[in-house]
Chains A and B, each alone.
Chain A
Amino acid sequence: MPGLVHLAVRFLHVIGMALLLGGAAVTWDRSRRASDPAELLDAAGRYEWLFWTVTGVMVATGVGNLGVSGVADLSTRWGAVLAVKLLAVLGLLGGSVVRTLAVEDSTGAGSDAVVLRRSYAATTLYLAGLLALAEVLAHG
């Protein structure tokens, strides 16, 4: 039974990252192509709901993963990478609140689209960086 829970936790963590990164990339692409401001805002709003829901699951399953895999001391390379990843997660959370508020502030018209495009481009690239850190933690 514990093995099944651990498998489910890892599965949710991987699927969650795929949704966050893939969703950001798709929303970034739509913000570059969309001609209708309402369509762009609709896509952005849906991603924001997805982002905050999945992020909550990612934090919970991330801690669960640490419990399963064990935690090395901060003085080791793995421990140092984990510290960097935790700081990076805090950066993602803070930056994403600004992005969500900017989406709420957008009318979707004219230069607002530039804010959204840059926000989702930055989110996509930042998440790709976090994924690389996760790879280092998982596979050394």
Chain B
Amino acid sequence: MADESETEGDDRTLPHLLPDDPSLLSWALGSFHAAVLVTVAVAALHWSGTLGDLLSGLNTAVGLVAYAILWGATWFGTRWALGDETLERLAAGDVWFPVRRGMLGGAAVGGGLVIGGGVLAGLAAVVVNPPAVVAVLIFLGVGGLVALAVGAAVGGLFAGLDAVLFGLARRVSADDRAP
């Protein structure tokens, strides 16, 4: 974490919005990202009229495990994206730095989930059905690239949304402290 005196921007807010232990922040934002992703997906499916069919074909326990994996991955990606100088740069008014970190973190989460799943499927295929390994490798190549791209886009969007909410929180606090 950079020395406060070396950081430009709102020096009133900096000491408070840059906690020594940012674990609550990364837990809150990681949980927020996972919850918003799933809620938006559910809402979109409900709007399209396909939610009931999709959920009726999904095992509840499998769905819960999938959510837990997504939650853990987004928390990990968010914690990484918040590291380095992200908060300092955001507080100094540089929005693009956190967006770039968000895109990299999102790509890692998206790519990690798909490629990790593909590797597990590949290992299972080697044991159970060796000819299926080719299909798994194609999935790993194409799916992995798509997941990296989609993850980067989603990560960048979330970083931008976080920056807007970050600014709102600063305004709420500043308004309250105004004489």
Q: Decide whether A and B assemble into one complex.
A: yes
Q: Which residues of A contact B (CB under 8 A)?
A: 2, 5-6, 9, 45, 48-49, 52-53, 55-56, 59-61, 63-64, 66-68, 70-74, 79, 82-83, 86-87, 89-90, 93-94, 96-102, 104-107, 110-112, 114-115
Partner of A64, one of B16, B25, B63: B63
A56-B34, A104-B25 given as contacts; is B49 within 8 A of A98 (CB)? no
* Chain B minimum-CB-distance residue to A82: B46
* Interchain CB contact under 8 A, B28 and A86: no
Give the docked Cα–Cα distance between A68 and B56 (Å). Answer: 8
Asked whether B68 is an interface residue with its Cβ less than 8 Å from the other chain, the reply is yes
Residues of chain A lying within 8 A (CB to CB) of residue B28: 48, 52, 96-97, 100
Residues of chain A lying within 8 A (CB to CB) of residue B51: 66, 71
Residues of chain B lying within 8 A (CB to CB) of residue A56: 31, 34-35, 67, 71
Residues of chain A lying within 8 A (CB to CB) of residue B32: 52, 93, 96-97
In angstroms, how far is the closest chain A Cβ from the Cβ of B103?
Answer: 19
Asked whether B109 is an interface residue with its Cβ less than 8 Å from the other chain, the reply is no
In angstroms, how far is the closest chain B Cβ from the Cβ of A57?
Answer: 9
* Interchain CB contact under 8 A, B168 and A98: yes
A86-B43, A105-B16, A105-B17 given as contacts; is B60 within 8 A of A64 (CB)? yes
Asked whether B52 is an interface residue with its Cβ less than 8 Å from the other chain, the reply is yes
* Interchain CB contact under 8 A, B39 and A104: no
Residues of chain A lying within 8 A (CB to CB) of residue B169: 97-99, 101-102, 104-105
* Interchain CB contact under 8 A, A87 and B31: no
* Interchain CB contact under 8 A, B166 and A101: yes
* Interchain CB contact under 8 A, A55 and B31: yes
* Chain A minimum-CB-distance residue to B71: A56
Asked whether B148 is an interface residue with its Cβ less than 8 Å from the other chain, the reply is no
* Chain B minimum-CB-distance residue to A59: B35
Partner of B29, one of A87, A89, A97: A97
Residues of chain B lying within 8 A (CB to CB) of residue A115: 172-173, 176
Asked whether B24 is an interface residue with its Cβ less than 8 Å from the other chain, the reply is yes
Residues of chain A lying within 8 A (CB to CB) of residue B43: 83, 86-87, 90
Asked whether B170 is an interface residue with its Cβ less than 8 Å from the other chain, the reply is yes
Asked whether B142 is an interface residue with its Cβ less than 8 Å from the other chain, the reply is no
Asked whether B40 is an interface residue with its Cβ less than 8 Å from the other chain, the reply is yes
Give the docked Cα–Cα distance between A89 and B36 (Å). Answer: 9
The B45-65 residues at the A interface (CB cut-off 8 A) are 46-47, 49, 51-52, 55-56, 58, 60-61, 63-64
